[in-house]
Amino acid sequence: MDRQPSVCLINPWITDFAAYDLWSKPLGLLYINSFLKSTGFRTRVIDCQSYGFGRFPYCFRSLHPPGRGHIRKQKIPKPPILNTYKRDYFLYGIHPKDFEYHLGKMASSFSPDLFLLTSQMTYWYPGIKYTIEFIRNIFPRIPVLIGGLYATLLTSHAQNNFSDCIILPGNFNQEHFRIISQFADSSIPAKVPSNLLDFPYPFHYDYPTLDVLPLLTSLGCPHSCSICASRILNPVFHQKAPGEVVKEIVYYIKNYKIKSFAFYDDALLSNADKHIIPIMEGLLKNRYKNMVFYVPNGLEVANIDASLAKLLYRCGFRELRLSFEGLNTSDIFNKPLNLVSFCKAVGFLIEAGFSPKDLRAYILVGHPLQKIEDILESVYWVHSLGIRIDISHYALVPGTPGFDQYSQYTDIDPAEEPLFHNNTLWNWRLKNPYPWEKAFRKLVNTLNRAYREGEVLDRTSSDIREYWEECINP
C-alpha cells in the first residue's frame, strides 16, 4: 500500500494575562482537518487549549459547564517589554507535560510529515513560540506551517519571528494545499472549496470529551465596524443555505449524540427571514428535544422582533449576548445603535420566556474617543433594563481603521509590537491613562451583583453614587 501523507494539526497555547473559554474550538483548523482527511491524508489534532487533551482532565476545570469556563494556567515570565504592567502573565491550556506526552505518543505511532498550526489573537504569538519549542524538542526536523488569524493579519511579523516556519496567510486555499502536499511528498489531487462553508463537516473525534459543538453558518459580516477584522478576513458576507445547516446539525445530533451547539457566526441574525428563522423552523420540524444553542458573539438586536424572540426561546437558545457597545459610540465604531430597538428586543425576549439572567449586553470600553460620562450612562442604562453588563475592553486589530487612528493616543508603537494589541492593556497603553479604571470596575461589579439578586439599583443609591462620582472626579 502507498504511504499515506500525514499531518498533525495543532491549536497552540494562549499566552496572556487572562483567558476564558467561551465554547472555543479552533473551527477553521477542524475544517482543514476534515478536508485533508477527505483527500486521503492521515491527520491528528492536538488542541493545547482544550481540557480534553490533558492527561489529567480534572485540572482543566470548566467552572460553568457546559463547554465554557476558566482555562488551566501556569505562570510564565512576562515578555520584558510589558514589565511595567503589574500583572502576572500565564500560559493557558494543557499542562506542558501533557503536551509532551501527546507528542511523544505520536512519535511512536503516527510520525507526521508536517505540523500545521493555527493562530488566533495577534498578541498570543508567544504561545506559538512555546508550542513550537516543544514540537522541536521531539520532532527537530519536521516542517512547521502556521496559518490562521495572526499569520493573516501580521504576515511579515510572523515571517520575521518564525523564520524557520512557513507562514500561510489568508483563508485555506489551493496554494496552501499545494504547499502542504509538497512537504508531505504527496501528489493526491484535490480541489479546495472556495470557502469553509463548503468544506466537509469538521471532524471532532480527536477530542476525548465534547459537550458543545461549534457551528458556522455564515462567513463575514454585513457591517463594517472600524475596530473589527471581519471584513478583512471575509470581504463578502456569505450565508449557508438553511437546509444545509439543518442537515449538518442533524448529522451532529445523530453521530456525536450531542444536542448543544455554539454558533460562531459574526452576524447570525442577519437576513433572519431567509436564514436563522428557516434553520430554527427546520429543526423544530425534526422534533429534536432539549437542543441548546449558545452564541458567544453579540447578537444584533435590531433583528429581534416578537416572533423571532419566541422562536429562539423555543429552539433552546440560552445566555444571549446582545451587542450594545455604548451610548454615543456610533461614530466611533461606525456601528449604529438604536436604543428603542434595544429596549424592544429585551422586552420581546423576556415576553418569549427568557429570564433576565439569560440576557447580557456587551459594552466596549477603552477606545480613547469614549467619554467616561457616556460609559457610565451606558452601564446604568443596561442595568436599568434588568440585564447583565458585560464589559469588553478594546483590543487593537491591525488593518482596521481604528488601529490606524490609534497611534495619536499612545506613545507605544502597536504596529511594531503585537503584544501591545492586548485588550488587558487598554488603559496602560494610553498616552494619558484614565484614572477611573478601579472605581469603574467596582461600579460594574456592584451593578452586576444587584442584577444577580434580581434588583435594579436606583441611580441615586449610595451603593453606586460613590463609585460614579469617583469615576467623574477621580
Measured CA to CA, the distance from residue 306 to residue 352 in angstroms comes to 7
By CB under 6 A, which span of 82-90, 99-107, 220-228, 273-281 interacts with ligand SF4?
220-228
427 part of the interface to ligand SF4, by CB under 6 A: no
Is the CB of 155 or the CB of 224 nearer to ligand SF4?
224
Distances in Å between the Cα of 179 and the Cα atoms of 40, 172, 202, 287 are 16, 11, 21, 45
In whole angstroms, how close is the CB of 300 to ligand SF4 at the nearest point?
7
Looking at residue 269, the DSSP 8-state letter turns out to be T
In whole angstroms, how close is the CB of 223 to ligand SF4 at the nearest point?
4
Total count of residues recorded for the chain: 474
Q: Decide: 88 and 78 in contact? Cβ < 8 Å.
A: yes
Measured CA to CA, the distance from residue 126 to residue 82 in angstroms comes to 13
* Site size for ligand SF4 (CB under 6 A): 9
The binder of ligand SF4 chosen from 68, 204, 223, 321 (CB under 6 A): 223
* Bridge partner list, 472: none
Is the CB of 335 or the CB of 383 nearer to ligand SF4?
335
Please work out, in degrees rounded to the nearest 5, the angle formed at the alpha carbon of residue 165 by the alpha carbons of 164 and 167: 140
301 part of the interface to ligand SF4, by CB under 6 A: no
By CB under 6 A, which span of 121-129, 217-225, 283-291, 367-375 interacts with ligand SF4?
217-225
Burial degree of 255 (CB within 10 A; 0-12, 13-18, 19+)? exposed
- At 343, phi and psi to the nearest 5? -60, -45
By CB under 6 A, which span of 180-188, 225-233, 313-321, 349-357 interacts with ligand SF4?
225-233
In whole angstroms, how close is the CB of 395 to ligand SF4 at the nearest point?
11
- Between residue 261 and residue 290, which ones bind ligand SF4 under the rule CB under 6 A? 266-267
228 part of the interface to ligand SF4, by CB under 6 A: yes
In whole angstroms, how close is the CB of 402 to ligand SF4 at the nearest point?
10
- Between residue 333 and residue 352, which ones bind ligand SF4 under the rule CB under 6 A? 335
322 part of the interface to ligand SF4, by CB under 6 A: no
Measured CA to CA, the distance from residue 238 to residue 230 in angstroms comes to 12
Distances in Å between the Cα of 406 and the Cα atoms of 72, 223, 435 are 33, 21, 19
In whole angstroms, how close is the CB of 226 to ligand SF4 at the nearest point?
9
Where helices occur in 286-434 by DSSP H, the ranges are 306-315, 330-333, 339-352, 372-384, 401-406
365 part of the interface to ligand SF4, by CB under 6 A: no
397 part of the interface to ligand SF4, by CB under 6 A: no
Is the CB of 335 or the CB of 429 nearer to ligand SF4?
335
Burial degree of 251 (CB within 10 A; 0-12, 13-18, 19+)? exposed
In whole angstroms, how close is the CB of 454 to ligand SF4 at the nearest point?
30
Interface ranges with ligand SF4 (CB under 6 A):
221, 223-225, 228, 230, 266-267, 335
